Structures are given as C-alpha cells and as structure tokens.
Structure 1
Amino acid sequence: MFLRIIALCLCTLGSLAWAGPSVVDAVGRTVSLEQPAQRIVALAPHIVENLFSAGAGSKIIAAVDYSDYPSAAKSLPRIGSAFSWSIEQVVALSPDLVVLWGSGNGMTALPQLQRLGLTVYVSEPGTLKDISASIRDFGVLAGTDHIARRNAAAFDADIDELAANGSQGPRLSVFYQVWNTPLQTVNGEHMISDVIELCGGKNIFAEQAQLAPHIALESLLEADPQVIVASGTDQSRPEWLDDWRRYPVLQAVQHEALLHIHPDLIQRPTARIARGAADLCAQLDRVRRDYVSVAPSPRT
C-alpha cells in the first residue's frame, strides 16, 4: 500500500511538471497547450508586434497586411488583412496557436476555428495595462515568458512614469480627431482616451456612447478644446489637421495647439504606445508652458 501511494504521488508530480502553458484570453476563455507554441498565426498587426515583444516573433508562420513592425515582421507570409482573411489558409498552415483579434476579425470566426480543432487566443487590448498583460500571455504560450515579463515590466514602468509626470499642471481639454470626413473621434472607453488622461488631458467627447463616434462640427466648436490632436493614416501630418485654422476663435488654433502623433504610436495597442504617449505628453506640456498659462479657462 505504501509503495502504491508513493507511485501515485510520483505520477501526479510528473503530470504537474509536464503540464503545458495555460492562460486566460481577453474574452475570459482558458487557452491551454500541451507544449509551448511553435507555429503561430497572428491575425492583426498589433498581435504580431506584441508577439515580438514577448520574444515569440520567430514562431510566427503567417500574419496579415500592415504587419510591419519590427522590421523582421515585414517578411512574414501574408494571409489577408485584419478584417478579411481565409480560414482555409489558416487551417492549411497547421498552426498550434492562432491569435485572433476579436474586433477586427469578428468573433463569428472563433466557433469555426474551434470546430476545426485549432487552439485560439482572442486578443482585445482595451486599456494600457491590457498591452502588458497580452505580452505576458504570449510569453507563457510560446515558452518565452522570461523575455515577455521583462519587456512587459519595462512598458508598465514607462507608463507609470508618464502618469506621475502627467498629473502636474492644469488639465487641458483635448479633441482627438480620427478622421475629417465624416468628423470622427473616440470616447472615454478608447485606449487613446487613456493616453490623453495619462498626459493630463481631458477628452472632450469622453461621454459619447459609441467607441469611435461621428460628431457634428457645431459640437466641436461649442466644446472649444484647447488642443486638437490627429494622427491620420501614415507618419506624415494629415493636411486636414490645419483646416481648423479656418476657425480662429478656437482656443486650439489660438494656442498653435494642432498636434500630430504618428498613428502607429498611438492607434496600435502595442508597447510602442508608450513612445506615442511620451510624445503627446511633451507636446501638451509645451502647450501648458507657452500658451495656456495666459489663456482663458476652457468651457468644458
């Protein structure tokens, strides 16, 4: 009897020792593997970037269009876009892990991928802390958690430092312009709004119900933000940002506070958003220092 108990304990310990990686994804699903992933399909540019941050870039076997960072990602095979990719191609690649963007691809694809026997992790970072959590999860799943933990901790430290500095000085009313026609912004649930708050700003349309609402020009003029920020679709300053100069009554125009941030540094939920946040914080500090101290208080 004693020997049987010892044998049972050893078997149990052995099973625990060889247990594969397991994490909980963005929609609360437990994602488990028998062993660390070696063949990963990444179905959004931010997923590719965060996998590289987790030390798992070499394990990606396919990605989607615009997966362009870091430079090594540019040579990855493509299987469509973040909004349109082929399930048949994914299956044909025989991945041991598929990382799906919930919003971009639509959760409708998830049941079909599961029925086909694929292990799927749903990525949906909604806050700054979700970025580091995703990087840690990818490290666990790929067996590179020592790299992932280090890079995730560095990102969290950068954000914490910006938060401490951003609390100094008066808050600025900020309009973030996603697009010009139609006029579009983000509400307070969007990660970009978190970055604005991080830098000591206030999103003037934070209370909107939709995540990326269209707004009327009259609403913007009435709100009269002290700062207008835009990114556009590439690294250059969008021409339509300067269209606001047609309204010299706006505080943002009077303050020369029509700011541009590289889109990949603020619109992609990756570790690089810390760089975009640092850029925005520095620009808002300039507005505070040079203009707002002598300007009237915002009407928001």
Structure 2
Amino acid sequence: MFTSLWRSALIALLATASVPAWATQRCVVDDDQRELCLAAPAQRIIALSPGATEWVYDAGAGERLVGAVSFSDYPPQANQLPRVGSYQRLDLEALLALQPDLVVAWRSGNPRSQVDTLIRLGVPVYFAEPGDFAGISATVHRLATLAGTEAIGHPRAAAFADEVAALRERYRTATPVTLFYQVWDDPLMTVNDTHFISEAVRLCGGINLFGALPRLTPKLDLEAVLAADPQVIVSGGMGEDDHRWVDAWRRFPSLQAVQAGHLFFVAPSTLQRPSLRLLLGTRALCDHLDQVRSDG
C-alpha cells in the first residue's frame, strides 16, 4: 500500500516542481498554528469535511476542488466530486491518486495519524477549526489567499464580518430571551457558550440556559430542560426539513415555550455548519426571537 502512496506523492511533487520561479509565494498560518506556504496558487484542492468543502467554495475556489469526503453536499455541485472516504476515515490511496496541491483538513474531526501521513509524504495541508464567526471569516480569507482567489474570497469574508457586526449592534439592547438549543435527540444534547451556535444565540439577544456547562456539546437529562423552563426551544433535525425533534416537545405542555407556541426549527446546515451560510441560520434565529418579543 505505502509503495503506491509514495509513488502518488512523488507524482504530485513533480507536478508542482514546474511552477515558474517568479510565482509569488503564498503563506498563511492555519488553526494548528502552522505556517503553510505555497509557491503558487493551489489548483487541485481536496476538502476533508463537508464544512471544508463549503469553505473552499466560499473562498471562490470551488472549481479547484478535485475531491471531497462523504456528505459534502453543498453547494449542489459538490455532490459530483470524487470521494476520498469519510471525514472519520480517509482513503489515502484515492486521495493521493488525485494529486492534490492543497488539502484542507478538519483539525479536530479528521484522523490525525492519516493527515500526518499526508504531511510526511509532502502534501500541503491546511488545518481548519473555525470556532466562532471571526474564525469562519478568517478561514475563508486564508483559503482565498492560498488559492489565488482573493478577488472573490476576501470581499465575501469581509462582507460576512460586516453583517455579523451589524447584527451584533442591532440586538445589543434587545430584551433577553432564554433559550434551549437541541443539537441531538438521543442522547439529548445541546451546546455550551464556547460553541459558535451559542455565539449566534448571543448575537440575537438570546441566553443559552446551558451555556455554562463545561463540555462543548453536553448531554442532558430531560428533567434538566423541564426544570430550566426556557422561553424558546430551537432545534435542527436529521434533515433540512425534519421538524420531528422540535415537535416532540409538545408533549410537555407545562413548558412555557410550548404554551406560547415558541418551538422553532432552523435548518441544521445553516446553523450547525461553520460556513458563510451560518449567517442565514443566525438571521432565521433572530427572526424567531423577535417573534417571541413581539408576542410579549
């Protein structure tokens, strides 16, 4: 196996050896605090998570993608990309056969040993882990730099940051609304205040009732939610129009969120995936909390 891995890696290195000497070097620091420099704009990019696939498209470099992992489903054309395994288990043979000159890895989600193998074979790897809105903007900005698509990616990253700042200012003095966000159903799970979903909640003037818990995605007992009695319950689901999780709360009529009809669904790909589309989910969340305020 590794003989063929080395052969594929050698092919990739020889392909980049023909880059003209005058090409401008492109350097960024990734989310693993590693400096990554490319001698020329990346032309053959592989993304190792669905989120990474979106970041590359957000950066204006979608046409440079030659491979992705399973469940990379947005934008729609991403469904046509060759697959190199899943984010949890990479197919290194398939990946190296595509001769990438840049791999975008998910820092905490991909198997580190496999990604380290790519690095040892000389494949340029950018580790991404945007944990907040600023990190998403920075990721898109850096990938645009590596791909030479600054004219597209940099304005998009800046516009995203500007719109986030506008939302923060708009809701700075909004009446607080207590909220439970359900990220999973079995086991029942939420997010704490270090998660980007909680940043979206705060942007809209919401209070995450479980934000102080130590784990990023803590498990909860049903009784904890009933005792907290949130004004609002927000959930995604197993699909983009799957309301079953949020509708299931109707069986607890004692909850004020149920009594007031403040049970809301937000498509998970717009609020649980850290791409520029997070702004869409945040706006939807803000609209829901505005409804709660208007209902009194």
Q: TM-score, normalised by structure 2?
A: 0.90
SS at match of 2:104: strand
Residue number in structure 2 paired with 1:158: 163
Matches within 5 A, 1:240-251: 240-251=245-256
Residue number in structure 2 paired with 1:85: 90
Question: Does 1:206 find its partner at 2:225?
Answer: no
Question: Does 1:127 find its partner at 2:147?
Answer: no
Structure 1: distance between partners of 2:234 and 2:155? 32
Which structure has the larger Rg?
A: 1
**Count of matched residue pairs:** 277
Question: Does 1:62 find its partner at 2:85?
Answer: no
Q: Which amino acid aligns with 2:127?
A: V
Residue number in structure 2 paired with 1:262: 267
Residue-by-residue CA offset, 1:159-192 (whole Å, 9 max, x unaligned): 1121122223211111000122211111111111
Residue number in structure 2 paired with 1:233: 238
Structure 2: distance between partners of 1:106 and 1:167? 40
Question: Does 1:282 find its partner at 2:277?
Answer: no
Q: Which amino acid aligns with 1:143?
A: G
Question: Does 1:112 find its partner at 2:117?
Answer: yes
Structure 1: distance between partners of 2:174 and 2:164? 18
Residue-by-residue CA offset, 1:84-134 (whole Å, 9 max, x unaligned): 221222222211111101122133333211111111000111001111101
Question: Shift of the alpha carbon at 1:18?
Answer: 4.2
Structure 1: distance between partners of 2:195 and 2:22? 41
SS at match of 1:98: strand
Structure 1: distance between partners of 2:291 and 2:220? 28
Structure 1: distance between partners of 2:21 and 2:216? 43
Structure 2: distance between partners of 1:34 and 1:17? 9
Aligned counterpart for 2:151 among listed residues 146, 154, 158: 146
Question: Shift of the alpha carbon at 1:17?
Answer: 6.7
- The answer to whether the Cα contact below 8 Å between 2:239 and 2:267 also exists between their aligned partners in 1 is yes
SS at match of 2:233: strand
Structure 2: distance between partners of 1:287 and 1:64? 39
Residue number in structure 2 paired with 1:10: none
CA RMSD of aligned residues (A): 1.6
TM superposition outliers: structure 1 runs of 4+ over 3 Å: 15-19
Question: Shift of the alpha carbon at 1:240?
Answer: 2.8
SS at match of 2:226: helix
Question: Shift of the alpha carbon at 1:212?
Answer: 0.8
Residue number in structure 1 paired with 2:193: 188
Aligned counterpart for 2:54 among listed residues 49, 53, 56: 49
Q: Which amino acid aligns with 1:226?
A: Q
Question: Shift of the alpha carbon at 1:274?
Answer: 0.4
Q: Which amino acid aligns with 1:53?
A: D
Question: Shift of the alpha carbon at 1:27?
Answer: 1.2
Unaligned runs of 5+ in 2: 1-19
- The answer to whether the Cα contact below 8 Å between 2:270 and 2:277 also exists between their aligned partners in 1 is yes
Please identify, of 141-150 and 68-77, the stretch whose mean Cα deviation from structure 2 is larger: 68-77
SS at match of 2:33: coil
Structure 2: distance between partners of 1:198 and 1:151? 20
Question: Shift of the alpha carbon at 1:16?
Answer: 11
Question: Does 1:175 find its partner at 2:175?
Answer: no
Aligned counterpart for 2:108 among listed residues 87, 103, 106: 103
Residue-by-residue CA offset, 1:217-254 (whole Å, 9 max, x unaligned): 11111111111100012111331322222222211112
Structure 2: distance between partners of 1:225 and 1:92? 52
- The answer to whether the Cα contact below 8 Å between 2:90 and 2:114 also exists between their aligned partners in 1 is no
